[in-house]
Amino acid sequence: MPLPAYDLTGRTAIVTGAASGIGRASAALLAEAGATVHCADLNDEGARATAMAITDSGGAAHPHHLDVSRRDQVAAVVDNALQRTGRLDVMANIAGIMHASAVLETEDADLDRVWNTNFKGVLYGCQEAARAMVATGTPGSIVTMASGAIDTGAPGLLCYGVTKAAVVQLTRTLATEVGRHGIRVNAVAPGWVRTAMTDRHTAEAQRQAEGPMVRMSPLGRVGEPEDIAHAVLHLASDASSFTTGQILRPNGGVAMPW
């Protein structure tokens, strides 16, 4: 039985990026706290696997195909959640992609691709969820996924860092606009977390990035998806009922040390 402030029984959550990594761990934890979780991702098989793992352990979940860069698809997932339970309490905008290229080598197409997923995808999620929460009178929580990349320059991370900084500004702005409806909007800015995204780095990039993270963390380790899922649960739940427009940094005590 979760502590009352963390109990999401009877609540409905949408998690984007739920097929993998931080999204999958967050979907599982929100379900464990009692929410019905809509697991949405571009990767259908992964979204189904996450939803099945939740239902197999006694929770409630529905998989969805979703490309967050398509507003019509985001709206359809929100509509489906409303049709099933009549409410949307939590929108966790976790889907994201990484692109690494030096500023002088960055092409327009690189920036457009990362922007469309990492910023527009979160914008559509925030807009559609907030409209649903206002329309149903639900004092919900919207969580966005930023990154430690917002706090410093880092070689190769122009596109990624720009989109994550924009997500923070979206989070702060929306929080000021929907607070009067009781809706809270907060960002999580994780440090280095072991997921498919970071595994895609070459061995050399892993050594360059992960080594300093471990050395400079007072905790002496990088993050696991579950570390970040607990931050998402905190912001999604009534435990953070007086928190809005904020950035929570689960990063092992490290700002990116490049």
Q: State which residue, 94 or 231, has the beta carbon closest to ligand NAI.
A: 94
From the list 28, 61, 193, 232, which residue makes contact with ligand NAI (rule: CB under 6 A)? 193
Residue 156 is a binding residue for ligand NAI (CB under 6 A): no
Distance CA(227)–CA(242), nearest Å, equals: 22
What is the token pair recorded at 243?
């928190």
Annotated catalytic residue 124: no
Closest approach of ligand NAI to the CB of residue 139, in Å: 25
The kind and range of the H/E element at 108 are helix 108-114
Closest approach of ligand NAI to the CB of residue 149, in Å: 7
CA 247-214-222 angle, 5° bins: 50
Determine the 3-state secondary structure of 190 from DSSP.
Answer: coil
Q: State which residue, 159 or 178, has the beta carbon closest to ligand NAI.
A: 159
Q: State which residue, 106 or 115, has the beta carbon closest to ligand NAI.
A: 115
Distance CA(247)–CA(188), nearest Å, equals: 6
- Phi, psi (deg, nearest 5) at residue 94: -110, -25
Which residue in this structure is represented by tokens 């464990």?
Answer: 32
- Beta-strand ranges (E) seen in 83-123 are 90-93
From the list 198, 237, 240, 244, which residue makes contact with ligand NAI (rule: CB under 6 A)? 198
Q: State which residue, 97 or 159, has the beta carbon closest to ligand NAI.
A: 97
Tell me which DSSP letter residue 238 carries. Answer: G
User: Which residues from 229-258 bind ligand NAI, rule CB under 6 A?
Assistant: none
Q: State which residue, 53 or 134, has the beta carbon closest to ligand NAI.
A: 53
User: Which residues from 17-76 bind ligand NAI, rule CB under 6 A?
Assistant: 17, 19-23, 41-43, 46, 66-69
- Phi, psi (deg, nearest 5) at residue 39: -95, 105
Distance CA(71)–CA(51), nearest Å, equals: 23
From the list 196, 215, 226, 253, which residue makes contact with ligand NAI (rule: CB under 6 A)? 196
**Which residue numbers are catalytic?**
160
Which residues bind to ligand NAI, rule: CB under 6 A?
A: 16-17, 19-23, 41-43, 46, 66-69, 94-97, 117, 121, 145, 147, 190, 192-193, 195-198
